[in-house]
């Protein structure tokens, strides 16, 4: 047996993220039994059939009995209700963690719902995803070479934080520690804001009188810019509401940058436009090269 | 010999767009001699060496002698100067066309620079591109299955318009006719605006105090959304200035849509957000499916 071993792992929400974690832990050989918790029996049966989980549970209370680790992978707006339902059944030796895209809100929910037991909750966010959703899309190498952000609480024990870190590392991920405030500012900027901007552009084209003609002539630039506008509306609704403060700050700054460009376009000031475009273009080219390099080093 | 044949084609600006057109016409066997015109002898020599053009000319006057067709493929801001230099040497039988991303501005430039000879100028815009620039990136199938928009002038003869259409069709493209105003509105919406928005986002991240940290954690969504922010700053500076009016209208509308979303985020109105996100997501999924289908039908 490995030095790292979780005898009973409970995955709450067995979709792409939760299902991929289950498969990754199995592949790494660090888990005994994986129990899936979900809203419908049908989807859990499918997860059992696909070999993603070993057992299905519709009650969190049943699932929590004897659990070494409980991982919340449901849409972030459900976390408070889930933690509230879990609290009376949460045993002293169990670690709870999550995989949500926002952190300040889940910490607030955990502090309220768990009380003193919040010490057992280690907030985390794996930076991974796919175009596809649902347990059928789960992969045992989804987290290989990906980043995971841990936002430990002052209340957490070193051992619990180390166990969550080791779990993600066994899935092939690299862990980074950040405060929840810093995490939410970073992802508001490079993830949540771009999603809002892409949704806004597609909504604008869809609502235009000549929308169909415009879509007919949209090319590869539009395709890539708007790819994330095909993402789950429910998931992104929840993220926007959960990370409201940081996102609003980023939107304010964005409006200022766009307003500046608009002023220069109105004035026909090509030099001013070119300076901003060049700063962006240099940054993007450098980022792309660094990223290609990093991904290359990860390839098996 | 083909029914369609251009004995002497002049390509002004032998980069990706002009070079790919030269190669496509050669591949289709519809061209006698291809003459390249450019700013530096070195780049023209390279184009000759690569077999993209047959002859190099540094003077438009020399190149224009006996030309069947002259295609302007330089950055759009150069069109007025090029047409002005061309006018005294433009022979009655020569057709002039262009490959620029904006149309109202080049038509204005052509009317001013060419006078009555504007009847010989047929405005066009091929919707094609690549990540790479320069003549080395030119492909003989770049236009295969791509759209070309023709914006014929009232002054043009039917025969000249038909010849330009036939030229693009010989390169494998599908031609569509549109007014210049409609063209500029369509591309302001689905091409020029997304470029400005992507540049603005990357500039914002680059200028943030914690920009390096943010870029470290940027993932696949950021990558695709910002791909076009790596585009040529000079080219997009020119397009923004050339298509100023239509672009400013689109930016105004975009600010209104983003302002609406901001209000709903501030109010925490998840339902209102989800409605907009869903409209965008449905539109994007439908567009993506239709586009994949159309591209599939084009594959050889």
CATH number of the domain bearing residue B233: 1.10.3660.10
On chain A, the residues whose CB falls within 8 A of the CB of B186 are 210, 213-214, 217
Q: How far apart are CA A179 and CA A210, in angstroms?
A: 46
Region A221-236: mean pLDDT is 94
Taking residue B264's Cβ as centre, other Cβ atoms within 10 Å add up to 20
Domain boundary among B178, B201, B234: B178
Work out the minimum CA distance from B292 to partner chain A, whole angstroms: 11
Subunit contact A254:B204, Cβ cutoff 8 A? yes
Give residue B12's pLDDT: 98
Find the closest chain B residue to A286 by CA distance: B230
Subunit contact B217:A185, Cβ cutoff 8 A? no
Work out the minimum CA distance from B41 to partner chain A, whole angstroms: 27
Tell me, yes or no, if A212 comes closer than 8 A to chain B by beta carbon: no
Find the closest chain A residue to B238 by CA distance: A270
Is residue B295 included in any domain, yes or no?
no
Domain match, A27 and A167 both: yes
What is the Cα B167 distance to its own chain's centre? 16
Region B134-149: mean pLDDT is 95
Please choose, from the candidates A247, A261, A229, the residue with its C-alpha nearest in 3D space to the C-alpha of residue B199: A261
Residue B299 reports pLDDT greater than 50: no
Subunit contact A274:B233, Cβ cutoff 8 A? yes
Confidence of residue B295 (pLDDT cuts 50, 70, 90): low
How many CB contacts within 8 angstroms connect chain A with chain B? 281
Cross-chain CB nearest to A213 (options B186, B205, B276): B186
Subunit contact B281:A244, Cβ cutoff 8 A? no
Give residue A129's pLDDT: 80
User: Do B240 and A265 touch, CB atoms closer than 8 A?
Assistant: yes
Query: Which residue has tokens 């002698």?
Result: B65
Please choose, from the candidates A88, A65, A163, A92, the residue with its C-alpha nearest in 3D space to the C-alpha of residue A122: A163
Tell me, yes or no, if A272 comes closer than 8 A to chain B by beta carbon: no
Is residue A31 included in any domain, yes or no?
yes
Region A35-44: mean pLDDT is 93
Give residue B2's pLDDT: 64
Cross-chain CB nearest to B127 (options A185, A219, A261): A219
Domain match, A226 and A105 both: no
Tell me, yes or no, if A267 comes closer than 8 A to chain B by beta carbon: no
Domain match, A121 and A259 both: no
DSSP H or E stretch at residue B32: strand B31-37
Give residue B133's pLDDT: 80
Tell me, yes or no, if A33 comes closer than 8 A to chain B by beta carbon: no
Subunit contact A280:B225, Cβ cutoff 8 A? no
Taking residue A116's Cβ as centre, other Cβ atoms within 10 Å add up to 8
Work out the minimum CA distance from B89 to partner chain A, whole angstroms: 31
Please write the tens of the pLDDT for every residue from A166-215: 999 999 999 999 999 999 999 999 999 999 999 999 999 999 999 999 99
Cross-chain CB nearest to B231 (options A189, A214, A281): A281
Domain match, A73 and A160 both: yes
Domain boundary among A178, A193, A220: A178
On chain A, the residues whose CB falls within 8 A of the CB of B236 are 273, 277
DSSP H or E stretch at residue A186: helix A180-187
Give residue B297's pLDDT: 58
Cross-chain CB nearest to B236 (options A189, A195, A277): A277
Work out the minimum CA distance from A120 to partner chain B, whole angstroms: 26
Three-state SS annotation for B83-150: HHHHHHHCCCCCEEEECCCCCHHHHHHHHHHHHHHHHHEECEEECCCCCCCCHHHCCCCCCCCCEEEE
Region B70-90: mean pLDDT is 96
Work out the minimum CA distance from B140 to partner chain A, whole angstroms: 19
On chain A, the residues whose CB falls within 8 A of the CB of B268 are 241, 244
Give the whole-number percent of chain B exceeding pLDDT 70: 97
Q: How far apart are CA A7 and CA A29, in angstroms?
A: 11
Q: Taking a contact as any Cβ pair under 8 Å apart, which residues of chain B between 160 and 179 contact chain A?
A: 176
Is residue B300 included in any domain, yes or no?
no
On chain A, the residues whose CB falls within 8 A of the CB of B203 are 257, 276, 279-280, 283
Work out the minimum CA distance from B20 to partner chain A, whole angstroms: 18
The domain in which residue B95 lies consists of 6-178
Give residue A300's pLDDT: 38
Domain boundary among A162, A178, A194: A178
Residues in contact with A255: Cβ distance below 8 Å, sequence separation at least 6, in sequence order: B255, B258, B259, B262
Tell me, yes or no, if A295 comes closer than 8 A to chain B by beta carbon: no
**CATH label of the domain that carries residue B107:** 3.40.50.720
Give residue B244's pLDDT: 97
Exposed/middle/buried for residue A108 (C-beta within 10 Å: 0-12, 13-18, 19+) = middle
Domain match, B203 and B259 both: yes
Cross-chain CB nearest to A285 (options B197, B230, B268): B230
Is residue B219 included in any domain, yes or no?
yes
Domain match, B111 and B231 both: no
Confidence of residue B300 (pLDDT cuts 50, 70, 90): very low
Please write the tens of the pLDDT for every residue from B18-37: 999 999 999 999 999 999 99
Torsion of CA A16, A17, A22, A25, to 10 degrees: 130
The count of domains in chain A is: 2
Domain match, B99 and B157 both: yes
Is residue A136 included in any domain, yes or no?
yes
Is residue B282 included in any domain, yes or no?
no
Confidence of residue A297 (pLDDT cuts 50, 70, 90): low
Tell me, yes or no, if B133 comes closer than 8 A to chain A by beta carbon: no
DSSP H or E stretch at residue B265: helix B244-267
Please write the tens of the pLDDT for every residue from B180-224: 999 999 999 999 999 999 999 999 999 999 999 999 999 999 999
Work out the minimum CA distance from B22 to partner chain A, whole angstroms: 22
Domain match, A143 and A223 both: no
Domain match, B123 and B196 both: no
Confidence of residue B129 (pLDDT cuts 50, 70, 90): confident
Residue B49 reports pLDDT greater than 90: yes
Subunit contact A234:B258, Cβ cutoff 8 A? no
Region A38-66: mean pLDDT is 95
Query: Which residue has tokens 């950055």?
Result: B75
Domain match, B130 and B239 both: no
Q: How far apart are CA A153 and CA A107, in angstroms?
A: 8
Confidence of residue B294 (pLDDT cuts 50, 70, 90): confident
Residue A235 reports pLDDT greater than 50: yes
Is residue B52 included in any domain, yes or no?
yes
Tell me, yes or no, if A181 comes closer than 8 A to chain B by beta carbon: no
State chain B's mean pLDDT as an integer: 95
Is residue A279 included in any domain, yes or no?
no
Half-sphere exposure (CA, 13 Å, Cβ side) for A87? Answer: 17
Domain match, B78 and B124 both: yes
Domain match, A125 and A234 both: no
State chain A's mean pLDDT as an integer: 95
């Amino acid at each position: 047996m490995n030095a790292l071993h979780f005898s009973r792992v409970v995955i709450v929400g067995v979709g792409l993220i939760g299902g991929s974690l289950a498969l990754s832990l199995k592949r790494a050989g660090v888990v005994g039994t994986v129990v899936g918790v979900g809203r419908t029996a049908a989807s859990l049966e499918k997860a059992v059939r696909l070999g993603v989980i070993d057992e299905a549970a519709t009650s969190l209370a049943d699932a929590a009995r004897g659990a070494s680790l409980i991982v919340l992978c449901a849409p972030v707006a459900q976390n408070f209700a889930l933690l509230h339902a879990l609290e009376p059944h949460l045993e002293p030796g169990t670690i709870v963690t999550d995989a949500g895209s926002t952190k300040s809100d889940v910490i607030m929910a955990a502090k309220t719902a768990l009380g003193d037991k919040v010490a057992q909750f280690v907030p985390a966010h794996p930076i991974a995803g796919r175009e596809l959703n649902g347990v059928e899309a789960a992969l045992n190498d989804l987290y290989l070479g990906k980043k995971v952000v841990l936002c430990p609480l002052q209340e957490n024990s070193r051992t619990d934080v180390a166990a969550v870190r080791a779990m993600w590392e066994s899935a092939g991920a690299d862990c980074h520690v950040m405060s929840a405030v810093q995490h939410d500012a970073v992802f508001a900027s490079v993830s949540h804001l771009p999603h809002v901007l892409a949704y806004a552009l597609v909504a604008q084209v869809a609502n235009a009188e000549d929308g169909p003609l415009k879509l007919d002539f949209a090319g590869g630039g539009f395709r890539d810019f708007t790819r994330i506008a095909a993402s789950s509306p429910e998931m992104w609704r929840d993220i926007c509401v959960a990370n409201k403060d940081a996102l609003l700050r980023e939107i304010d700054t964005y409006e200022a940058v766009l307003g500046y460009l608009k002023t220069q376009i109105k004035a026909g000031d090509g030099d001013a436009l070119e300076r901003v475009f060049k700063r962006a273009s240099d940054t993007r080219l450098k980022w792309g090269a660094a990223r290609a390099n990093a991904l290359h080093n990860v390839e098996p």
